[in-house]
Structure 1
């Protein structure tokens, strides 16, 4: 039986919704893949994981978003076909699948919020990460090779133009200084040349290594080459920003999907046949 006038309106709106729905699926897929594939994000998350025992939640939320994005294409198929054929059966499947995807995305948002609460970077960065910085070998000046922690922390120090967790003095008395007494601080604590390797910089990558080292040795000396702030706040702000993106996208798309459920119910009510 043909749909009523109101159902015809719902049918049209359902098509428009599904177009937006497909775009939201692309957004979910893109953000999820970006968080899992971007090398700089992966390295910075490794820094965060040093200070946090629960280090898999960000990856888990990203995977949930990717799965949700992929599921949107299947859900959209049932929505389009159900609207075209005015089939209550297909629309019923569409509604069920949409509710499932919506539930998964809400779970992703809640998980991200829980992860944010458990992360407690402000307290843990000054304990675990500071301890790691003090005790890790970081760099071997003889071989010119970086320890895994040194590689990832170089990324953080370059990304946020910082040195140490709370400042360059974090390296005082560290294993790094004991093993490299002539260096005192990693090269990544200094301004690097354009195009230099942020992950494994060498002395030749530093704009002015001699001046940077002098600025470290002389506390009262104006800091022009040495990164004078610690990485603590930069890492906290970065991690929170990524979590806000995940929370906003997951909950925003879930709200959009709720509108799709309402439209599908509206269309079903206007179709005279039983499910």
Structure 2
């Protein structure tokens, strides 16, 4: 008998799909969890900003913890949204955006870590500049104030390089023209407070900058927070390495899953095109 024979798709039936449901929904759940976290961070940041006075909030945007939460929250929200929708809808474009963003963030973290290690002096000067800027705006932002107080009490330190750095703040400035009752003082978080005290004297740092270094050391921490922070980093390199690894692993997992899913979707598209072609021309 003459005539040709209809070709079938080699090795695959009509219901076959290259896209693995495990990879697809694992990537979706992965992104959905971080999307919820980003939404919470963004909400907290927005709420904290709304609770602040406008003038004080605008005065120190660069050292505002609420602003930092909002920026990180927005970035995470956009990236994880692309991952969620891209995986659920099998959209290659959104998945590529998600993958590119994660790769850029991972590389930036890697470069920042390497540069911070190589140019440690430059990194130290930048951190010092940030701390000094935070000291200037200490009374302008309650969130920033709480953060500084927590850091000084946790590390047992005071100021940036030394406790006299608090003279940079207009309220603690030692000039004779300063009318503040906190003139030449330091925050209570600089004070050496015994653990058995249940009530903290918030004026314990009164006039501490006027005292001699040795005498001041009896009632406040005289070492700056920069040296304390550097010593803590040197003593906890394994912990910091573990944290860095803990941050890197989810990013690498996201990149890997998105790349696998992108390749699977591309294979599925090729299969669909193959089937359409041979349905329209069954004798080809």
> What is the TM-score of this pair, normalised by structure 1?
0.57
1:95-141 Cα offsets, whole Å, 9 max, x none, are 233223322333444566678769x65213434643673xx485xxx
Instruction: Please provide the CA RMSD for this pair.
Output: 5.1
Q: 5 Å matches for 1:1-275?
A: 4=12, 8=16, 10-11=18-19, 14-38=20-44, 49-50=62-63, 60=71, 62-79=73-90, 94-110=91-107, 121-127=123-129, 129-130=131-132, 133=135, 136=136, 147-148=139-140, 152-159=144-151, 161=154, 162-171=157-166, 175=170, 176-178=172-174, 179-180=180-181, 184-190=185-191, 206=200, 210=204, 217=211, 219-220=213-214, 226-227=220-221, 229-232=223-226, 234=229, 249-271=250-272, 272-274=274-276
Cα separation, 2, equivalents of 1:68 and 1:151: 27
Q: Which has the higher contact order (CA 8 A, sep 6+)?
A: 1
Distance 2:193 2:269 in 1: 63
How far is 1:185 from its partner?
0.9
Is the Cα contact below 8 Å between 2:187 and 2:202 reproduced in 1?
A: no
Distance 1:269 1:47, change over 3 A: same
Larger radius of gyration: 2
In the alignment, structure 2 segments of 5+ residues that lack a partner are: 1-7, 50-58, 117-121, 175-179, 234-239, 278-284
How many residues are paired up? 228
- The unaligned stretches of length 5 or more in structure 1 are 80-93, 139-146, 195-203
Give yes or no for contact 1:166–1:231 (8 Å, CA) kept in 2.
yes
C-alpha contact (below 8 Å) 2:82/2:97 kept by paired residues: no
